[in-house]
Amino acid sequence: MATSRPDGRTALVTGGSRGIGKAVSLRLAREGVLVAVHYGHDDEAAQATVKEIEAGGGRALAVRAELGVPGDADAVWDGFDRGLVALGAEPGVDIVVNNAGITLPRHLADVTEEDYDRVFAVNTRAPFFVLQRALPRLRDGGRIVNISSAASRVAYPPLVAYAMSKGALDTLTLALAAQLGPRGITVNTVAPGFTDTGINPTLADPQIRRALAAASVFDRLGTPADIADAVAFLAGGDGRWITGHWLDATGGVRLGH
If one counts the domains in the chain, the total is: 1
Residue 2 pLDDT: 52
Whole-angstrom distance, CA of residue 62 vs CA of residue 110: 36
Domain ranges, residue 215: 10-248
Residue 1 pLDDT: 46
Whole-angstrom distance, CA of residue 202 vs CA of residue 175: 35
- Catalytic residue IDs: 148-149, 162, 166
pLDDT beneath 50, residues of the chain: 1
Show the CA angle centred on residue 157, arms to residues 168 and 113, nearest 5°.
65
CATH number at residue 104: 3.40.50.720
Residue 254 pLDDT: 78
Nearest CA to 145 out of 220, 33, 57 is that of 33
Answer whether residue 5 is part of any domain.
no
Residue 257 pLDDT: 55
Convert the pLDDT of each residue in 134-162 to its tens digit: 999 999 999 999 999 999 999 999 999 99
Answer whether residue 253 is part of any domain.
no
The secondary structure element, H or E, covering residue 79 is helix 72-87
Q: What is the pTM of this model?
A: 0.95
Residue 3 pLDDT: 53
Residue 5 pLDDT: 64
Answer whether residue 1 is part of any domain.
no
Answer whether residue 20 is part of any domain.
yes
